[in-house]
Structure 1
Amino acid sequence: MFQTFDSPTTPQAGPPRLKALRKEMAKDGLAGFMVPRADAHQGEYVAPHDDRLAWLTGFTGSAGFCIVLPEIAGVFVDGRYTVQVKAQVAQPDYTPVDWPATRPGPWLRENLSSGAVGYDPWLHAVAEIEALEQALDGSSVGLVPHRNLVDRIWADQPAPPKGAIKPYPIEFAGEPHDSKRKRLAAELKKAGHRAAVITLPDSIAWLLNVRGSDIPKNPVPHCFAILHDTGMVDLLALPDKVDDGLKAHLGKDVHLNGPKAFPTVLQSLDGPVRIDPASCPVWVKLQLEEDGIAIARGSDPCIMPKASKSEAELNGTREAHLRDAAAMCRFLHWFDSADKTALTEIDLVTALEGFRRETNSLLDISFDTIAGAGPNGALPHYRVTTETNRTLADGALIVVDSGGQYYDGTTDITRTLVVGQPGAAEKAAYTRVLQGMIAISRLRFPQGVAGMHLDAIARQNLWMAGMDYDHGTGHGVGTYLCVHEGPQRLARSGDVPFRAGMILSNEPGYYREGAFGIRIENLIVVQEARAIAGGDAHRQMYEFETITWVPIETRLIDTELLTTAERDWINAYHRSVRARIAPRLDGEVAIWLHHATEPI
């Protein structure tokens, strides 16, 4: 099993660790210390070595941070985790804070009259610290870069990961890395930048056509890179990660150094050197300033090219989704055939991973499978453990959100299932969520539109019923990379205009605390829209290509709420599912698929 069901943290462990941290703060004359969920590479995911927030507080969500002061320790989490954080942290030792409704600057002003708040400059991005400094301007509270105090008290901290860096086959990458390097170097030169510091692991993996194993469920390596305007790259990685095969793949224009050489390599640069304030650690900026090297601000040069997939990447991803869909159909047939009230959430997770393994292509799951039954489904990022494992009950809804990592692509799919007969409230909410997913799937939109412009379209039917959900409607997805990939987002915060080739999730939901949860998710690709007679010939329009092909649970649909267009979309989608997936199935599963895709 790739997934485990242990409980990595307990609320009881937090208070003594908090006491030890405050002792170190007092020893160093600090009035506060910030503990983010981040590592030196500033990606979304962290290795066990860097999971300091979970170790200190007990909170295991994928986003958040803690600010520890002498009398209060605020754990800042967004709407996805407001229920989870209360269950995972010891209160009142830790105080959950609704973020971003409450921002750290005003919170510090309210809870600290004066003093220095320390932070590890490796673990905070430039833009984050600058925004907080601006919010504290005029107060008697200041920020100071400082040695990490959590590392000082974490006696059994896991060692940093040392996974090998491996070449990624050109048939899946679609473009040699020397071509990528030269293409991006030309953009640097055009901007007048001599070099760019790249810290995001998936950016480096994409640029050099490599993959790694330093982050669970995400095939990326821990390393740093500096791209020069000549196309040459300095790659800073532990020697244990590199073998002769990798050296041959990288070639003479990629110079290998150990991470300890980072200060020396930075010192040797001629400016201006580009840093991305959103992802560059403060340490890099401080080092360049200390060396007197001119700094230029701009985006990570890999971000946008990586987001717009090549045709080889898209073709691979399409095939990965067909393979994954067949495994999902086998799972759904198994579920429908089972004595459901004898099953538990762990049974579902185990069975689904087993069907994916039977493809003989699964390299890992793309995240811990979410299988939340009844009230557990109301936790958007629920992770089942042996302590929380719930037996399925009659009438319960089950949110099953899962995905696989394959050489040719990364999958992510959510289906909401039902045991027995659903209630009227559940069916109505499910239908409104489905209407939102359909609305996004059918969209046409002009060039220049971003996720923030489209997110409300997925919510309109929920809003009309006085409902909503506290997460974005969709996130970017990589190709055998991270299942969450920026900068594109289908969310209120998504300000990057969509481009052809971007992969996104389309996953509206609804969650009623203590009762049930609903989420339905397909992956979609931005593509140029087909021309419409009478339309503006001069206007570039886009639409979405659906690449997930798994039946949607029709027993949960209140058909009276559907429009004719929505009903037609569901039937057309199911015809496509049958046409694409039936040839990959046989026997009882093929018969099940036929029934599951009958018109409504």
Structure 2
Amino acid sequence: MSTYSARLAALREQLARQRLDGFIVPLTDEHMSEYVGAYAQRLAWLTGFQGSAGTAAVLPQDAAIFTDGRYTLQVREQVDGGDWQFVGVPETSVSEWLAGHAADGARIGYDPWLHTRAWVAEASAALAKVGATLVPVDTNPIDAIWPDRPAPSDATLSVHDNQLAGRSSAEKRAEIADWLAAQKADAVVLAALDSIAWLLNVRGSDVARTPVALAYTIVNADGTADLFIAPEKVTDAVRQHLGNAVRIHDRTAFAPALGAFAGKTVAVDPALSVAAIPLAIEAAGGKVVSLRDPVVIPKACKNPAEIAGHHAASLRDGAALTRFLRWIAAEAPKGGQTELSAAAKLQEFRADTGLLKDLSFDTISATGAHGASPHYHVTEESNAPIELGQLYLIDSGGQYADGTTDLTRVVPIGTPTAEMRDRFTRVLKGHIALATAVFPHGTTGQQLDALARLPLWQAGLDYAHGTGHGVGSYLSVHEGPARIAKPSYGGGGPQEPLRPGMILSNEPGYYKAGDYGIRIENLLLVIEREIAGGEAAMLAFETLTLAPIDRDLIEPALLDAAELAWLDAYHARVAATLGDVLEGEDRAWLIERCRRIGA
């Protein structure tokens, strides 16, 4: 029996001890985070799946793992199909699968600190139709059988300078106090880690690749706040920075504190808070009002200081990536390079800046067939040599104190085929269409998504992921609330109106299973755009990312005059801007790779 088969068997035994007939294992933590600390990696421990989004459902005889189109290939490589059914979402939801497999009278357990209240209601309703019941657990059964489960991080907090933040924490808390007054609420619970970091102008290192700390915050109507965090994480410098208006409590005191809201009205974000939070407030006699976390929109709409910081980070990061692109173009054809060695070299170039805090996510370093898995994660076991005839895809980003970056480039190792050039150029056409979009206030990401897909659709092609996600300011590389995507990708995100100051990715792609993958990704800033003679206020995008797009993969005949003009103008800006910070052979290579297409 394999390690993972043994763990599945142990979980079933534990469920029997807890008088349960099933259990749901989401990939999240008690803050509904996308990226989680090692202590919360229950799905990976149970199944072996290394992706960043997924859920498992375990019953006495059946077990299923649920992933979206990004992980269709990866989940089958990493998870034993003899133990697990592979189920695609959103085509089939966890609730639907449970309703189709749970027995009449079954008790299906869930951890109320790992699911939203809406999910609990949906799953409960689905199970009720077949005579089954959803049951909250006091002890997560995975934790009961995970003998060497890592402890939560004990890393200390750091102060995020007000000059980089653009506003003080006191100003931000005063705005929330005004919001609470307007809502006639006494307090708001903030459970999202990036909301807390942004509000208090602090950063942490409790979650790999995301500079946040494990904490909860309650903001009160008078603008004061209660921060619940392990006390050893708070240094004297952080205490001084927070001041007397932010009271510090042990993180373990958070759940009991929810019991002190009898007769009070408390705002809770239903999408960013686990079910246990509103349930505890209501059990104590408090009134819960479901409202969006008041930090979400101010955090997403970057202020001038945050925008300036991102420009600086993009310049620094683009120069590092350009040095890498020159290196990979020269070294990969010689042989001897692998996905891991290339990823390490790019991290080395970023570290050479002297300002890299961390990567913004695990680098997607994918050659050949691995590139066809959009969120491929290279490991020692999967590490492949980069060989002639392949396309090499590198999707990566850095965390700097002044900004978070994310970009993707594709490099042909040797001479690309005509099909590769065709597909790459169609992806590029979609990328340009989105980059040059002009649209009125109120436009959503869903409305723009088709612009990036149309050149692929015209050839009978598509890609199974969203086109763009929000990006934080030295925070999460995947930041809500806006996304550019079809309705089926990312829940309500694609329906969020785009606003000035938002930073989103532009990353259409194409993936040929078993052969190669293509994605071109830049970050975009939503800006105001005046149209001469226009009657409506309009918005547009400013491209922030600075790095050459591989000219050997472009089929110029597929580009119209406006697309060629955009590409040449973009490359001219990249050459002029990065040329000021690169030297010698790096600069010469950049200038050559950014010359006019056809020149």
Q: Tell me if 1:338 matches 2:331.
A: yes
Question: Is the partner of 2:442 in helix, strand or coil?
Answer: coil
Q: Tell me if 1:22 matches 2:22.
A: no
Q: Tell me if 1:144 matches 2:129.
A: no
2:520 partner amino acid: I
User: What is the CA-CA distance between 1:398 and the residue it aligns to?
Assistant: 0.7
Q: Tell me if 1:281 matches 2:274.
A: yes
Instruction: For 1:575 and 1:374, locate their aligned partners in 2 and report how far apart those are by CA, in whole Å.
Output: 30
Matches for 1:190-589 after TM superposition, within 5 Å: 190-269=182-261, 270-342=263-335, 343-493=337-487, 494-529=494-529, 531-536=530-535, 539-589=536-586
Instruction: For 1:569 and 1:433, locate their aligned partners in 2 and report how far apart those are by CA, in whole Å.
Output: 15
Map of 2:84 onto structure 1:
94
User: What is the CA-CA distance between 1:430 and the residue it aligns to?
Assistant: 0.5
Kept in 1: contact 2:25–2:55 (CA 8 A): yes
1:350 partner amino acid: A
Instruction: For 1:66 and 1:523, locate their aligned partners in 2 and report how far apart those are by CA, in whole Å.
Output: 33
User: What is the CA-CA distance between 1:340 and the residue it aligns to?
Assistant: 2.0
Question: Measured at CA, do residues 484 and 347 of structure 1 come closer, stay the same or move farther in structure 2, by a change above 3 Å?
Answer: same
Of 37, 57, 72, the match for 2:47: 57
2:151 partner amino acid: A
Kept in 1: contact 2:355–2:400 (CA 8 A): yes
Kept in 2: contact 1:227–1:234 (CA 8 A): yes
User: What is the CA-CA distance between 1:113 and the residue it aligns to?
Assistant: 2.4
1:454 partner amino acid: L
Instruction: For 1:552 and 1:308, locate their aligned partners in 2 and report how far apart those are by CA, in whole Å.
Output: 28
Instruction: For 2:417 and 2:563, locate their aligned partners in 1 and report how far apart those are by CA, in whole Å.
Output: 22
Alignment root-mean-square deviation, CA: 1.2
Instruction: For 1:458 and 1:446, locate their aligned partners in 2 and report how far apart those are by CA, in whole Å.
Output: 18
Instruction: For 1:264 and 1:208, locate their aligned partners in 2 and report how far apart those are by CA, in whole Å.
Output: 23
Q: Tell me if 1:168 matches 2:160.
A: yes
Instruction: For 2:152 and 2:516, locate their aligned partners in 1 and report how far apart those are by CA, in whole Å.
Output: 39
Q: Tell me if 1:135 matches 2:134.
A: no
1:503 partner amino acid: I
Instruction: For 1:366 and 1:12, locate their aligned partners in 2 and report how far apart those are by CA, in whole Å.
Output: 33
Which whole-Å deviations, capped at 9, do the CAs of 1:36-74 have from their partners, x for residues lacking one?
Answer: 101111111110100000000111111110010011111
Kept in 2: contact 1:219–1:481 (CA 8 A): yes
Kept in 2: contact 1:41–1:281 (CA 8 A): yes
1:213 partner amino acid: S
Instruction: For 1:337 and 1:243, locate their aligned partners in 2 and report how far apart those are by CA, in whole Å.
Output: 47
Instruction: For 1:534 and 1:540, locate their aligned partners in 2 and report how far apart those are by CA, in whole Å.
Output: 11
Instruction: For 2:302 and 2:120, locate their aligned partners in 1 and report how far apart those are by CA, in whole Å.
Output: 32
Instruction: For 1:391 and 1:88, locate their aligned partners in 2 and report how far apart those are by CA, in whole Å.
Output: 19
User: What is the CA-CA distance between 1:138 and the residue it aligns to?
Assistant: 3.0
User: What is the CA-CA distance between 1:546 and the residue it aligns to?
Assistant: 0.6
1:73 partner amino acid: A
Which whole-Å deviations, capped at 9, do the CAs of 1:85-125 have from their partners, x for residues lacking one?
Answer: 11111122111111110012221121112211100111111
Kept in 2: contact 1:341–1:391 (CA 8 A): no
Instruction: For 1:350 and 1:28, locate their aligned partners in 2 and report how far apart those are by CA, in whole Å.
Output: 45
Map of 1:108 onto structure 2:
98
Kept in 2: contact 1:214–1:221 (CA 8 A): yes
Kept in 1: contact 2:269–2:292 (CA 8 A): yes
Instruction: For 1:90 and 1:202, locate their aligned partners in 2 and report how far apart those are by CA, in whole Å.
Output: 34
User: What is the CA-CA distance between 1:132 and the residue it aligns to?
Assistant: 2.0
User: What is the CA-CA distance between 1:137 and the residue it aligns to?
Assistant: 4.0
Instruction: For 1:556 and 1:302, locate their aligned partners in 2 and report how far apart those are by CA, in whole Å.
Output: 42
Map of 1:8 onto structure 2:
none
Which whole-Å deviations, capped at 9, do the CAs of 1:252-297 have from their partners, x for residues lacking one?
Answer: 1111111221133222235211111111111112211210111100
User: What is the CA-CA distance between 1:393 and the residue it aligns to?
Assistant: 1.8
Kept in 1: contact 2:51–2:377 (CA 8 A): no
Q: Tell me if 1:594 matches 2:582.
A: no
1:195 partner amino acid: A
Kept in 2: contact 1:126–1:282 (CA 8 A): yes
Question: Is the partner of 1:363 in helix, strand or coil?
Answer: strand
Question: Is the partner of 2:53 in helix, strand or coil?
Answer: coil
User: What is the CA-CA distance between 1:328 and the residue it aligns to?
Assistant: 1.0
Map of 2:491 onto structure 1:
none
Instruction: For 1:482 and 1:398, locate their aligned partners in 2 and report how far apart those are by CA, in whole Å.
Output: 26
Instruction: For 2:42 and 2:59, locate their aligned partners in 1 and report how far apart those are by CA, in whole Å.
Output: 17
User: What is the CA-CA distance between 1:515 and the residue it aligns to?
Assistant: 0.4
TM normalised by structure 2 equals 0.96
Map of 1:158 onto structure 2:
150
Instruction: For 1:134 and 1:312, locate their aligned partners in 2 and report how far apart those are by CA, in whole Å.
Output: 47
Kept in 2: contact 1:341–1:392 (CA 8 A): no
User: Sequence identity, in percent?
Assistant: 45
Which whole-Å deviations, capped at 9, do the CAs of 1:408-458 have from their partners, x for residues lacking one?
Answer: 111111001101110111111101111111011000011111111111110
1:533 partner amino acid: A
Instruction: For 1:37 and 1:263, locate their aligned partners in 2 and report how far apart those are by CA, in whole Å.
Output: 22
Structure 2: give runs of 5+ residues left out of the alignment.
488-493
Kept in 2: contact 1:399–1:517 (CA 8 A): yes
Question: Is the partner of 1:389 in helix, strand or coil?
Answer: coil
Kept in 1: contact 2:332–2:386 (CA 8 A): no
Structure 1: give runs of 5+ residues left out of the alignment.
1-10
1:374 partner amino acid: G
User: What is the CA-CA distance between 1:339 and the residue it aligns to?
Assistant: 5.0
Number of aligned residue pairs? 587
Map of 2:117 onto structure 1:
126
1:119 partner amino acid: Y
Instruction: For 1:570 and 1:404, locate their aligned partners in 2 and report how far apart those are by CA, in whole Å.
Output: 25
User: What is the CA-CA distance between 1:162 and the residue it aligns to?
Assistant: 1.4
1:553 partner amino acid: D
